[in-house]
Chains A and B, each alone.
Chain A
């Protein structure tokens, strides 16, 4: 595995990341001096107890939030040097997300939800691609269903289809099974890993579930904001 990393192209890199926020009791350190590199095609689990700073790290790595100090690179681009629109452009090109609470837009059908990233990228074949992606997650017959007409597992499948449809180089998954029962969670994880392998993308997975973390090639553990 070390060899692969040594040979592989680095798609995600964090250099001395720190995040401090103000609190009534003075500055609160959420993350301190985190450095890591993730290569193309690698799967990485970020584990730790609640409040360890997992989600904050994910937000910083994906450019959803800005660090107090340190730098983040995605596909060679320095996210910390970009403004919000610049970071958005990088996300549009390289990043996909799967969330614990699915984050589907309730007023859009399954296929419309999946079309969204393609449309934002200005793709003309959005509908065809989205329908295909839904077929890949086993929802080919539910294209016109609204989120509220789907079960939790089905909603997460839609979210996974949406995450992969734009062929991102990095996929961030934040507790993807947190809102699902064990059986359904298991099937969703299988699907996620299968698709990730087929697409050759990098998966960064935040979880507090040790069993899930062992499915990743590499694992970093956070404790009170430190690796």
Chain B
């Protein structure tokens, strides 16, 4: 009780005198950042969990690239289960000359078996649940399609060879997925209308799904039947494993955002350490006096610890409120990607934030406070009597342990904890070294400037250690924001610029064999440059060197996907223009018809293949075994048709379902697509520009959300700055008093302080711009193989933002010190 009363009174006066404000703000920033991310991800994961029972629109779902055999549905009926079918395929929708890529979902009566579809009568209008499917001749469209095609409900839209009336706006399907993966807006249509569109041909990219639902026992028995009878390449999904997948996706996203908030937490920890040292320094006298009057060591420590806990509680309350408001912002930025109403947040993130705050305090604040308790009471008589020195080894070990602890709380994955801490330490060391260099250079420069600047620059280099901490703390936040806001856009622009002007911008797929010649002639007549047509064959790998792939284990997710799913393969006499042979030899005319295959480097790596391996494929029920003759490095961003697997001509004659190609259309040639689709209704056109724009839109949004989280890092940087200002208060008061006693005007002293912080800001900006440019250069040259274009914007924004933000906040924070009359300062 006595401890609490003392702690409360200390807290009150420490808040008043600004001592605890730094600690409080540092912890509040950390908590806001953590809870903003925590609340948001908890809402998404709850949403996912709530929807998990209906994400398949069924209890059991079987999917395949080939039509499903009718016996599955007969068996389901016999077992007392309800069933429905869903066929999904991408295609372009047309309204006059406007087109929009969409994902068509053609469903049979009964869909969805679980959950319900919601429709509205106008885009973004009030939605209602329905228990029917679109009538024949009608479609329900995603609001984005209506917007893109400038359509209204009631208008007609062209899909393949048929026209449909837009009956409603499609607001929600149970099996639409949780957003991040579904790029194309959806169309719901009646399965009976698919034939009229002419879009499904042998070899077309279609996913056939069988949906089943019923009482649990019947589900179980039917599941066992499907497992026993399903063909390879047919994937069975039940609610549980789908729920697991979704949860792990949400977990990954939340870990990523948590790591983004980690930067703020670490900077806040630095501010906490600085604040705690200052607290100790300021309380040494009072503690000595209290011990002189008989206070025990335990009491002194208990008062400090209770005071800190009170601050932690206040910070958690304030931070959680700010975090709650901030997460509304994240949800708003990502609203297009989530497209669902999220449930309310749980309180769990508050607990996580509280745990993190406690670990921060134990790791970074406790060591100096612990020292406080050992203050010798003799200090009341002799100023030089100091508490025994901080045991640096111990306190650093504690801080490091705290760092690990915080990371563990945030990512809960040992390997990731090790990687991230190594990364954090490396980045910290690199930035600190750069910071030292900059501060040292500043010290050299001060000869040639006026008195205010000389005083300011002298302070920067005199408080070298503290200056470096401030430069790094602020520079880090600014660097990440520059990377996300400017460099990311530059890289995308560089990549676009690196593509030749006539790079194909439209893919044509689902070209029937009989349409190949007429289509070539049509394109030629319209002035489109002649392009190669590639046959497409759907195949699934069944064995490698006679070992069935089911029995093989692959390390990567990609390896498993290659082994399980069907691939599109082709044949060609010549390698594609942007392929380089990196191993083996391309075939000669003499090899045509022989069982050889050329694989891409990705395929080789994922399945651990080498030249000479024998690969067996199931091609529409036929078995084909071919030897790996060459490995190709493929430039996938050439926007020409490219394949993981290529065979020599004459080996697969007759197996091709459809052909594909890609063409370059000048903007004024776009209308010819309308004629093309009228003449060849089965052909699907993918507008590359539109897809890229869509991807970029999503990237922009996602990156905006991440930038948003990093704004907390800037806030944490400002707190570090305030902590540094706080720790030099007495010194500054004294200096300012001396300067003013010597005749300096208040303005001159203020200019000196402004110069100091402007210089610090300039250094932070330099560090940030330098770091962002360096990382941009590295990404461009080393990772993406692009020419790097220097962007002066990075430097202008970095230097201006750094100087203005640090200069202003530092000067404002110091102003009160300068305003103290010199006599008061000197008398103290």
Contacts and interface: CB of A to CB of B under 8 A. Distances in A.
Interface string A111-123: 0100011011110
Interface string A55-68: 10011001011000
Contacts of A59: 378, 381-382
B561 to A, nearest CB: 67
B5 interface: yes
B538 interface: no
B297 A105 contact: no
A122 to B, nearest CB: 6
A102 to B, nearest CB: 10
Nearest to A108: B13
Q: Tell me the dominant secondary structure on chain B's binding face.
A: helix
Interface in A44-94: 55, 58-59, 62, 64-65, 84-85, 88-93
B381 A119 contact: no
B294 A88 contact: yes
Contact of B2 (A64, A105, A122, A166): A122
A107 interface: yes
A82 to B, nearest CB: 12
B606 to A, nearest CB: 67
A174 B382 CA distance: 11
A150 to B, nearest CB: 13
Range, interface on chain A:
20 to 34
B381 A174 contact: yes
A62 to B, nearest CB: 8
Contact of A120 (B13, B290, B377): B290
Nearest to A107: B13
Interface string A90-104: 111101010100010
Contacts of B285: 103, 105
Interface of B: 2, 5-6, 9, 13, 16-17, 285-286, 289-299, 376-378, 380-382
A92 B13 contact: no
A62 B289 CA distance: 13
Nearest to B6: A119
A105 B287 CA distance: 10
B292 A64 contact: yes
B2 A119 contact: yes
B297 A85 contact: yes
Contacts of A89: 294, 296
B290 A116 contact: yes
A65 B291 contact: no
A85 B298 CA distance: 8
Contacts of B295: 88, 92, 120
Nearest to A121: B294
A95 B377 CA distance: 13
B67 to A, nearest CB: 82
Contacts of B289: 103, 105, 116
A105 B295 CA distance: 15
A166 B293 CA distance: 10
A64 B13 contact: no
B381 A99 contact: yes
B296 A116 contact: no
17 contacts: A59-B382, A62-B292, A84-B291, A85-B296, A88-B294, A88-B296, A92-B293, A105-B289, A107-B16, A108-B13, A116-B290, A116-B293, A119-B2, A120-B2, A120-B290, A120-B295, A174-B381
Nearest to A85: B296
A59 B384 CA distance: 14
Contacts of B296: 85, 88-89
A91 B378 contact: no
Contacts of B2: 119-120, 122
Contacts of B291: 84, 88
